[in-house]
A and B are shown apart, each in its own frame.
Chain A
Amino acid sequence: MRKNSHWGNVRKQFAMNSLAKWSLRFIGILVVLALLADFLANEKPLICKYKGHVYYPVFKEYLVDAGLSRWPSELLNVEWNKLDYDWSLFPLIPYLPQNLDRNNEHGVSPLAHQHIKSIRWRHWMGTDELGRDILAGMLHGTRIALSIGIVSMGVALFIGLIAGSLAGFFGDERLLASRARILLNCLFLCMALFYAFGVRAYSLRDALANSFFKFCIELLISFALFGGILLVGNMLVPILKLIPFLRTKIRIPVDMIISRIIEIMVSVPTLFLIISITAIITKPSIFIVMLIIGLTAWTGIARFVRAELFHIRNLEYVEAARALGFKEIRILLRHALPNALSPVLIALAFGIASSILTESLLSFLGIGVPAETITWGSILATARETPAAWWIAIFPGLAIFLTVTTYNLVGEGLTDAMDPKLKK
């Protein structure tokens, strides 16, 4: 990257903000913890020798889950911590979040005496009412917290960028289309909705009840159908253009339409909306919660992009590109949008923070997240049932707080770094 480019400057400014820099490192640590959660907290040993064979059970589990391998019969449905190994190396925390330690039920404090074989089996953050290890839950919860941010903001970014750039770049005047194109698009949109989603509703629903992966495949097929039908519609446009009335180009007020949609989205009480949508879903899944959060969070990004493009589209270099005869869509994608992305980064950082907060709130309330999924919010919720167990309330809450704060600090740091007034 060139030294005095915009991004070079931003990076320099950001690096001078030590708080933001440390926040970024903290997020890095969280990512590592999330990726390694299976190796840090697991009921299975990392390596073990059992009945004369050496096994790598944690690695093997990945292969078994992928369908590439199978458990030998003597290791199928065993209680891993009770096996008689020749020798074994267990992960740092030898528990899974859902393991019930019968000897340490009813919430054992991390400071109190625990009924354990040796210090290797200690519950460093205590246990909950059912004897589940809190630290294991926290480590595995990191995964969910981080993927919430990525998935929901990915969805929000996708919608927000499209809506914001259409509204900001084209405004109310600049998007022209022939009557034929508008007519055919309206007609084929209805058809595409009918054939891609209406007729296939049962296939989608069955797949959703079956597995999330199958649902994704069915959804992809639906989207492909949807796109294909619209494509056919647009290919028919030249034929209809033979009629003079349909050939006339008219303005589409995209900005007005998208601004109204944003206005509606903003005035819907988001939490209520998310809660009511999750109420419909018969088989709750954390991915659906992520998708729904994303679907309600795009307005912020769209507003940022829109405001930035409103400014950019009148700059001289865009005029120059237009004078050179480039197509509008090329100017938007190649020249205008890349320069509008910096505020999006800020919105993204704050958006991730608030989506993590929303998810933990939902699992705290017990809405939308399946009961067997252990998240920071769901651990915190169990604290209400056992008020004496301070460790159940402190640790997950602290994790939520720290993660949300670091994302906010990164957002703060980006805001400062991109403020031209502060440039040194």
Chain B
Amino acid sequence: MLRYIFKRVLIFVPTLFVISLLTFLISVNAPGDPLEQILNKNSQGEGQMQDKLSSEKAYREARHTYGFDLPLFYFDICNSSYPDTLYKIQEENHRKTLERLSWQYGNWKLVSDYYLKIRKLELVLLSVSSSPKNTLALNDAKNTIYTLFDTYAEKKMSYLIAHIARINRDSSLLPSNSKAIESLSQALGTMITHADPMKKYIPAIHWYGTANQYHRWFSRFIQGDFGISYQDQRPVSSAIRDAWPWTAGISLLSVILAYAISIPIGIRAATHKGELSERVSTTTLFVLYSLPNFWIATLLVIFLCGGDWLHLFPGPGAAPVPDDASILYKIGAISYRLILPLICWTYGSLAFISRQMRGGMMNALNQDYIRTARAKGLDEKTIIWKHALKNSLLPIITLFSEIFPLAVSGSVVLEHIFNIPGMGQLSYEALFSKNYPVIFSVMMITAFLTLFGNLVADILYAWVDPRITFSDSKQGK
């Protein structure tokens, strides 16, 4: 038994590793720059030289503190045109464009030369002092430069550069001795003519060592440092600490409630098979099982929580319970508010469990030992509650492991509808604002708890049914 548990725990490691890789992969590929959120940066459209430099400095510092200036992973398998120092470039859109350009032209040296020329032109443009006469032209030129940073199509690049040259010719923005535009179009020309498109077909491996974003994040996660939420700069662990009691409390209550109600219902359905009451309860439970909980929750909120209909319960937008209220009042107010969510959380699993209980009980009642018990002359109550119950509990116990992930994912939509500040709401908001440290942590914790729940269910299984051994793992389920 101990060996079995040990073996199972050992499997946790690769599973969690794969999940961590998966979440990391997703977060890296997500669009949008998280640092923009952190710094709450304004659009760079009309920035002057000084603003630009200072905001760039702040950006660089933030990039360093959050570790975004590191390569992504331990190694990188890519084509040999891929520049291995690309991660050092700050702006995300520049990185994307440069990656694409080096893929197109296969010559990183010329691509980076072209990029530097654009930057130089940008700096020159920023240092031009604006006057009422040239404001329009200057802004147009700046915007063209910013579009150029995102452009990789050959025709569009040369068009944009020609456009800047035209603006310059018409309103002479740059000092007459500046060769920035000419050298830029020259760099573009050499990049195109000296292209080496075959280079992308040669694979290459870059090795970065442990100084990478994944390593940094994962090693800290294991030590209990979940990172800092991008949105409000607050440690993720404290956000989770605030949120989890809601979800865990409601889930636990609903599981207890579901088991307490559904086991008797299931038993009754099994023992009174074929009677009208049984048929009614079975059908009702089936209907309950298929009712989408987000629909019921929406209906309950619309019809029972104010609005134009009944106002029996406080709505999702109700004012929070005041902090200075007495404890009794607080408990009362919170539990009053939790009645509707609890119903929505529970009814689905209620139907699910009682259906399983009914099946298990019917199965147990068909066994020979029940017939023996009946032949001995035991009364029906003892047979059911003492003999059959323990064996019919088997399928119910395994449900325990399935209910857990169900409760967590169910919490996303229910907490969203009822506006409960739990884990579901936390991750929903995090997903919408691309707040990846939070998503990471929630994913990892949920995965861990699911694995743990499965393990507990298996152990309970063996405890209830001593016939089950774990030595022969080869048997198919």
Q: Which residues of A are interface residues toward B (Cβ below 8 A)?
A: 168, 171-172, 191, 194-195, 198-199, 202, 260, 263-264, 266-273, 275-277, 279-280, 282, 303, 306-307, 310-311, 353, 357, 360-361, 364-365, 367, 380, 383-384, 387-388, 390, 393-394, 397, 400-401, 404-405, 408-409, 412
Chain A positions within 8 Å of B168 at CB level: none
Known: A268-B22, A275-B412. 19 other contacts (CB 8 A): A171-B474, A194-B77, A198-B203, A199-B79, A260-B14, A268-B443, A270-B409, A272-B446, A276-B439, A279-B30, A280-B31, A361-B294, A367-B431, A380-B294, A387-B301, A387-B307, A393-B302, A408-B286, A408-B290
B201 nearest in chain A by CB position: A199
**Nearest 5 A/B pairs, CB to CB:** A310-B476, A397-B295, A387-B307, A271-B409, A405-B290
Question: When chains A and B are docked, how far (Å) is the Cα of A400 from the Cα of B289?
Answer: 13
Q: Is B332 an interface residue (CB 8 A)?
A: no
Structural contact, B15 and A280, CB atoms closer than 8 A: no
Chain A positions within 8 Å of B18 at CB level: 264
Among candidates A171, A264, A279, A388, residue contacting B307 with C-beta atoms closer than 8 Å: A388
Q: Which of A195, A270, A276, A367 has the most CB of B within 10 A?
A: A276
Q: Which of A269, A357, A409 has the most CB of B within 10 A?
A: A269
- Give, as a whole number of angstroms, the nearest-CB distance from A204 to chain B: 13
Question: When chains A and B are docked, how far (Å) is the Cα of A357 from the Cα of B413?
Answer: 12
Chain B positions within 8 Å of A273 at CB level: 22, 443
Q: Which of B428-477 contact A (CB under 8 A)?
A: 428, 431, 434, 439, 442-443, 446-447, 450-451, 454, 474, 476-477
Residue-wise, chain B 271-314 has the 8 Å CB interface mask toward A (1 for contact) of 00000000000000011011110110011011100011100000
Q: Which of B203-253 contact A (CB under 8 A)?
A: 203
Q: Is B35 an interface residue (CB 8 A)?
A: no
A-B contact count (CB 8 A): 140
A412 nearest in chain B by CB position: B286
Chain B positions within 8 Å of A266 at CB level: 450
Among candidates B15, B23, B286, B476, residue contacting A263 with C-beta atoms closer than 8 Å: B15
Q: Is B163 an interface residue (CB 8 A)?
A: no
Structural contact, A199 and B307, CB atoms closer than 8 A: no
Structural contact, A195 and B201, CB atoms closer than 8 A: yes
26 contacts across the A-B interface (CB closer than 8 A): A194-B77, A194-B79, A198-B77, A198-B78, A198-B203, A260-B11, A260-B15, A263-B11, A264-B19, A266-B450, A267-B15, A267-B451, A271-B409, A272-B409, A272-B412, A272-B446, A275-B431, A279-B26, A307-B476, A307-B477, A357-B292, A360-B292, A365-B412, A387-B307, A405-B286, A405-B290
- Give, as a whole number of angstroms, the nearest-CB distance from A276 to chain B: 5
Chain B positions within 8 Å of A202 at CB level: 100, 103
Chain B positions within 8 Å of A311 at CB level: 476
Chain A positions within 8 Å of B14 at CB level: 260, 264
B436 nearest in chain A by CB position: A276
Chain A positions within 8 Å of B409 at CB level: 269-272
Chain A positions within 8 Å of B476 at CB level: 168, 306-307, 310-311
Structural contact, A405 and B287, CB atoms closer than 8 A: yes
Q: Is B54 an interface residue (CB 8 A)?
A: no
B82 nearest in chain A by CB position: A198
Q: Which of A267, A280, A306, A409 has the most CB of B within 10 A?
A: A267
Structural contact, A272 and B307, CB atoms closer than 8 A: no
Among candidates A267, A310, A387, residue contacting B19 with C-beta atoms closer than 8 Å: A267
Structural contact, A365 and B428, CB atoms closer than 8 A: yes
Chain A positions within 8 Å of B200 at CB level: 199
Supposing A365-B413, A401-B290 touch, asked if A272 and B442 sit within 8 A by C-beta, the answer is yes
A381 nearest in chain B by CB position: B298
Chain B positions within 8 Å of A400 at CB level: 292, 295
Question: When chains A and B are docked, how far (Å) is the Cα of A7 from the Cα of B79?
Answer: 53
Structural contact, B23 and A276, CB atoms closer than 8 A: yes
Q: Is B254 an interface residue (CB 8 A)?
A: no
Q: Is B417 an interface residue (CB 8 A)?
A: yes
Chain A positions within 8 Å of B15 at CB level: 260, 263-264, 267
- Give, as a whole number of angstroms, the nearest-CB distance from B10 to chain A: 11
Chain A positions within 8 Å of B477 at CB level: 303, 307
Structural contact, B412 and A393, CB atoms closer than 8 A: no
B307 nearest in chain A by CB position: A387
Question: When chains A and B are docked, how far (Å) is the Cα of A273 from the Cα of B200?
Answer: 32
Q: Is B193 an interface residue (CB 8 A)?
A: no
Question: When chains A and B are docked, how far (Å) is the Cα of A264 from the Cα of B16?
Answer: 8
Question: When chains A and B are docked, how far (Å) is the Cα of A383 from the Cα of B11?
Answer: 45
Structural contact, A383 and B201, CB atoms closer than 8 A: no
- Give, as a whole number of angstroms, the nearest-CB distance from B65 to chain A: 24
- Give, as a whole number of angstroms, the nearest-CB distance from A400 to chain B: 5
A367 nearest in chain B by CB position: B431
Q: Is B342 an interface residue (CB 8 A)?
A: no
Q: Which of A268, A280, A357, A360 has the most CB of B within 10 A?
A: A268
Supposing A198-B79, A384-B301 touch, asked if A279 and B431 sit within 8 A by C-beta, the answer is yes
Structural contact, B474 and A172, CB atoms closer than 8 A: yes
Question: When chains A and B are docked, how far (Å) is the Cα of A405 from the Cα of B295?
Answer: 14
Structural contact, A267 and B292, CB atoms closer than 8 A: no
- Give, as a whole number of angstroms, the nearest-CB distance from A375 to chain B: 13
Q: Is B427 an interface residue (CB 8 A)?
A: yes
Structural contact, B446 and A393, CB atoms closer than 8 A: no
- Give, as a whole number of angstroms, the nearest-CB distance from A366 to chain B: 9
B411 nearest in chain A by CB position: A271
Among candidates B31, B289, B299, B416, residue contacting A408 with C-beta atoms closer than 8 Å: B289
